């Protein structure tokens, strides 16, 4: 094929197939954009050609069709950048390959053709992007709904295993692995949780990867489901960088709203029902931390196992609290100040000065209250023989939320 023949085919519209050059333009644009399907161009190229030759502006219905193609691109998982690149590359190639009848016009005619083409490009790309954005918003809302429903089923633990496995797969969850659940409680209700979720996803994905990680909300709490090795459930886990609770708190405390946060981390368990178990442990740990007035930012379920042990035999612990601590209600001001004193005394290793700092009273007040407790209950907090009974009773009282709530009546 000589140069004259090649030039003739490029500069003329073949009579037998007037749209063949548009097909070549579309295929070239597809390659430029990383093999984006040419079908996403629709009637865009004929619109450009008409604008160049006749100056015709696209009709509203024709632009609406481009918007539909933008939505289709989003639904197919094609990035917005590649979709726009397809349209811009198609326009560039078409202008380069316009038939000679257009390219050989006088200056004003060419300027008018260029203006018409640019107007079509502007309208089409804007409509394409708008359609893409609408589809992405719909996809995000649909994904959020699916994720919320999946989280509810995972944390409930009584769903059909096969169905949940199928629904978890698109989110990158392998339910055969060992997972743990952490809950983040803000100090006040968040007006918008998107920022918190985005922040958590960024740091957790960076440290733990984006598979087997799920971040969502439930009952006003942020929920994080993350992979965990079986060994990480024990005290041997000392890698603070990958400690889920510290990782979450370190990121959330940067947020302007919600501070101070408290994180409760359940133990790691395998399988679908292990996720529900870890969630229940984290929720119980958060509830218990509030009752115990624990102000540490990260609470671990394994550190509060003693309370679960106590509550397994609730009638026995109720009897212990009643027998040992109920006389404190006779004190002026009720039992709570004396109970808080006992808790601070035991938590600080029975050091009166540290106990006074913790509950913001004088050392003399601590000494007086300890003597008052001894007189009312008959148990001396400073006597090693009485210490275990008193401390167990205090733990039981906090677990039962006494004296804020009355003790359960024996069944």
The number of beta carbons lying within 10 Å of the beta carbon of residue 58 is 22
Could you please state the CATH topology (level 3) that the domain comprising 3-138 is classified under: Globin-like (1.10.490)
- Residue 245's alpha-carbon distances to 106, 282, 300, 305, 402, in angstroms, are 72, 11, 8, 17, 29
Give start and end residues of each alpha helix (H) in 157-218.
161-168, 194-208
Answer whether 171-303 and 313-399 agree in fold: no
**What ranges do the domains of the chain cover?**
3-138, 171-303, 313-399
Q: What does each of the 411 residues of the chain score in pLDDT, given as a tens digit?
A: 444 444 443 444 444 455 678 888 999 999 999 999 999 999 999 998 888 888 888 889 999 999 999 999 998 989 999 999 999 999 999 888 776 545 555 677 777 888 888 999 999 999 999 999 888 888 777 777 888 888 888 888 776 777 788 888 777 788 888 999 999 998 877 767 778 888 888 888 888 776 778 888 888 899 999 988 633 444 444 444 458 899 999 888 888 777 789 999 999 999 888 999 999 999 999 988 888 777 789 999 988 887 777 777 888 889 999 999 999 999 999 999 999 999 999 989 999 999 999 999 999 999 999 999 999 999 999 999 999 999 999 988 988 889 999 988 765
- How many other C-beta atoms are found inside a 10 Å radius of the C-beta of residue 360? 8
CA gap 322, 335 in Å, rounded? 12
Place of tokens 């196992």: 305
Structure tokens at 204: 């957790």
Helices 271-291, 161-168: inter-axial angle, 10-degree rounding: 80
Measured distance CA(218)–CA(54) in Å, rounded: 59
Reading the block at residue 31, the tokens are: 């390659």
Structural fold of domain 171-303: Alpha-Beta Plaits (3.30.70)
CA atoms within 13 A on the CB side of 305: 7
Q: Which CATH architecture has domain 313-399?
A: Orthogonal Bundle (1.10)
* Peptide bond just before 260 cis, omega within 30 deg: yes
């Amino acid at each position: 094929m000589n140069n004259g023949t090649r030039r003739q085919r490029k500069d003329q519209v073949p009579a037998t197939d007037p749209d063949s050059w548009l097909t070549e333009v579309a295929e070239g644009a597809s390659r430029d954009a990383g093999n984006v399907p040419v079908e996403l161009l629709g009637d865009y190229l004929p619109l450009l050609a008409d604008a160049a030759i006749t100056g015709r502006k696209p009709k509203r219905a024709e632009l609406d069709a481009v918007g539909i193609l933008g939505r289709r691109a989003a639904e197919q998982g094609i990035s917005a950048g590649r979709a726009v690149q397809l349209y811009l590359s198609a326009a560039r190639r078409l202008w380069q390959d316009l038939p000679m009848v257009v390219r050989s016009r006088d200056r004003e005619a060419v300027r008018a053709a260029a203006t018409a083409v640019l107007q079509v490009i502007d309208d089409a790309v804007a409509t394409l992007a708008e359609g893409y954005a609408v589809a992405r918003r719909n996809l995000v809302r649909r994904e959020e709904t699916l994720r919320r429903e999946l989280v509810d089923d995972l944390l409930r633990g009584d769903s059909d295993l096969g169905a949940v496995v199928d629904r978890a797969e698109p989110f990158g969850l392998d339910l055969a692995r060992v997972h743990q659940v952490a809950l983040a409680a803000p100090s006040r209700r968040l007006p918008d949780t998107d920022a918190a979720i985005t922040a958590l996803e960024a740091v957790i994905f960076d440290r733990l990867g984006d598979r087997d990680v799920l971040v969502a909300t439930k009952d006003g709490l942020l929920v994080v489901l993350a992979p965990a090795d079986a060994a990480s459930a024990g005290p041997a886990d000392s890698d603070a960088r990958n400690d889920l609770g510290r990782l979450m708190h370190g990121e959330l405390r940067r947020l302007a709203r919600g501070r101070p946060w408290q994180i409760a981390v359940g133990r790691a368990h395998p399988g679908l029902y292990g996720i529900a178990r870890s969630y229940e442990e984290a929720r119980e740990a958060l509830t218990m931390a509030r009752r115990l007035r624990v102000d540490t930012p990260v609470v671990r379920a394994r550190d509060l196992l003693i309370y679960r042990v106590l509550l397994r035999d609730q009638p026995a612990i109720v009897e212990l609290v009643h027998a040992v601590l109920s006389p404190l209600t006779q004190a002026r001001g009720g039992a709570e100040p004396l109970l808080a004193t006992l808790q601070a005394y035991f938590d600080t290793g029975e050091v009166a000065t540290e106990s006074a700092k913790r509950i913001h009273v004088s050392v003399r007040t601590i000494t007086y209250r300890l003597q008052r407790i001894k007189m009312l209950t008959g148990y001396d907090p400073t006597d090693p023989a009485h210490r275990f009974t008193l401390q167990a009773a205090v733990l039981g009282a906090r677990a039962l939320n006494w004296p804020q709530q009355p003790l359960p009546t024996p069944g």
